[in-house]
Amino acid sequence: MNERIYGPIKQILNGMALLAMLFVLAPLLISLAISLSPGPFATFPPTGITLAWYAKILHSRDFLASLGLSFGLAMVSTFIALLVGVPASLAIVRGRGLPGMALVEALLLSPLLLPVLITGLSLLQFTAWTGISNTLVNMSIGYVVVIIPYIIRTVVTSLKLVNYSLEEAARTLGASALVAFMKVTLIQIAPGIMAGALFAFMISLDNLTISIWFTNAEINPLPIYMMKRMDSVFDPSIAAMSGVMLLVGTCVVLLLERLVGLRRSMGI
């Protein structure tokens, strides 16, 4: 903001932005602080510093099972969504203008039009109706539906930035279609694919609104497990779980910044 033009408004806006950032950080920092507190209840202020709660949850079979389940489901769903989404994005960009392609693109992005909670509910009714009763399969299907549009959007965006003449040049110089694509185009869109995959992975990892419909006593993805524990357990172990997930989230953000830059991956 230009000091000369905005004058005192600049300071006011800066101050408000600072307060807003504190608002954003506050609940995250509070749960971090409480996760380090030795007291038996999740209360403020923390009474000291200990890693005992982290040790406790890392030895908890239930927590590790939920964490493992969430990671597994997220990886499988992201992989399937990439397998389906990347070729589709390529076709959308290169085949733009073909009859039916606009409709195909709209269909591939259509899950964005419905709240995820409702997408999950409709899938629950559909799977009950068709008799597909495997919880893990149903959850993964739901995740894939939700993340396909994200993959498509990020990959389409990065494909649009690729200069097609480079691939043509490779073809002219004797590369086969496949080699030209792999060595020229794929390399250029790799950061975009990675960014999309990371986002898709985090969306699946954090997903509660699909899982809630399919969860049962044995199969509890992490967000569901944490929400169930909140009703019955009042010690800082949930704060410690938050701490573990904050660490995962921070790694992902740093990776995003490294790969494509936060600004670009957010479309600013």
Partner 1 sequence: MKPHRQPLVYLLMTLPGVLFLLVAFIAPVVVMLSSSFLTQTSQGIDLPITFSNYWRVIDTPLYGHVIWITLRISLYTTLLALFVGFPIAMVIARGGPFYSRLAIIIVVAPLVVSVVIRTYGWSLLLANNKSGVLNWTLAHLGFGPIATHLMYTETAVVLGSLHVFLPMMVLPLSSAIARVNPAVEEAAGTLGANGWRLLWYIMLPLCKPGILAGASVVFSLTAASFVTPAILGGSYALMLGNLVEQQILAVYDWPFGSALAVVMVLLIYGVNGLAGWAFDSKHLPRASRGLALRRAPRLRGSLS
Site for partner 1 in 184-243 (CB under 8 A): 202, 205-206, 208-209, 212-213, 222-223, 226-227, 230, 238-239, 241-242
Residue 207 burial (CB count, 10 A):
25
Distance separating alpha carbons of residues 86 and 217, to the nearest angstrom: 36
SS3 143: helix
Site for partner 1 in 21-50 (CB under 8 A): 21, 23-28, 30-31, 34, 41-45
Part in contact with partner 1 (CB under 8 A); list of ranges 2-10, 61-69, 71-79, 184-192: 2-10
Residue 73 or 88: the one with the smaller Cβ distance to partner 1 is 88
258 lies in the binding site for partner 1 (CB under 8 A):
no
Site for partner 1 in 51-80 (CB under 8 A): none
Q: Binding string, 139-168, against partner 1, x = CB under 8 A?
A: --xx-xxx-xxx-xx----------xx---
User: What values do phi and psi take at 101, rounded to 5?
Assistant: -70, -35
Distance separating alpha carbons of residues 216 and 209, to the nearest angstrom: 14
Quick one: tokens of 83? 């397998």
- The binder of partner 1 chosen from 40, 68, 72, 95 (CB under 8 A): 95
Part in contact with partner 1 (CB under 8 A); list of ranges 4-12, 52-60, 178-186, 189-197: 4-12
Quick one: tokens of 215? 């969860």
**Count residues contacting partner 1 (CB under 8 A)?**
108
Residue 27 or 72: the one with the smaller Cβ distance to partner 1 is 27
Long-range contacts of 253-260 (CB under 8 A, 24+ apart): 255/194, 255/198, 256/195, 256/198, 259/191, 259/194, 259/195, 259/198, 260/191, 260/192, 260/194, 260/195
User: At closest approach, how far in Å is the CB of 204 from partner 1?
Assistant: 11
- The binder of partner 1 chosen from 123, 184, 189, 200 (CB under 8 A): 123
For residue 45, say if its preceding peptide bond is cis, omega within 30 degrees of 0: yes
Nearest to 267 by CA among 150, 105, 162: 150
136 lies in the binding site for partner 1 (CB under 8 A):
no
User: At closest approach, how far in Å is the CB of 52 from partner 1?
Assistant: 18
User: At closest approach, how far in Å is the CB of 170 from partner 1?
Assistant: 15
DSSP secondary structure, 140-182, as one string: HHHHHHHHHHHHHHHHHHHHHTS-HHHHHHHHHTT--HHHHII
Half-sphere exposure of 203 (CA within 13 A, CB side): 22
118 lies in the binding site for partner 1 (CB under 8 A):
yes
User: What values do phi and psi take at 131, rounded to 5?
Assistant: 80, 20
- The binder of partner 1 chosen from 136, 181, 249, 259 (CB under 8 A): 249
Part in contact with partner 1 (CB under 8 A); list of ranges 53-61, 71-79, 124-132, 182-190: 124-132
